Amino acid sequence: MIANALFLIAFPSGGELILIIAVVVLIFGGKKIPELMRGVGQGIREFNDAKTNVKKEIEKGMNDKPEKSASPEKSEESKTASN
């Protein structure tokens, strides 16, 4: 019951929502709002693309088999040869 009360408090009611919209229209004007929303949409789209690319890279890295490293015997031989 407490969770429901907090959920209802978090969102603005009808009157508050109308006031917020009116303030946004007054600040940005009617002509700037579509440009603003277009920019927000483009930003969200770029974020989702980047998130998808990172996810693919992580999955690709998890599926790749690690390369075999040089055996310890060879690395010891190269150390003694260089000295």
pLDDT along the chain (83 residues), means of 10: 61 83 85 88 96 93 73 54 54
Q: Name the residue with tokens 């150390």.
A: 79
Q: Where are the domains of the chain?
A: 30-55
> Which pLDDT does position 24 carry in this prediction?
85
pLDDT score, position 61: 86
pLDDT score of 76: 53
- The count of other CB atoms within 10 Å of the CB of residue 80 is 7
Q: Say if CB 28 and CB 37 are below 8 A apart.
A: no
The predicted structure's pLDDT at residue 42:
97
pTM: 0.48
How far, in Å, are 20, 65, 70 from residue 47 at the CA level? Answer: 26, 29, 40
According to the model, what pLDDT value does residue 46 have?
97
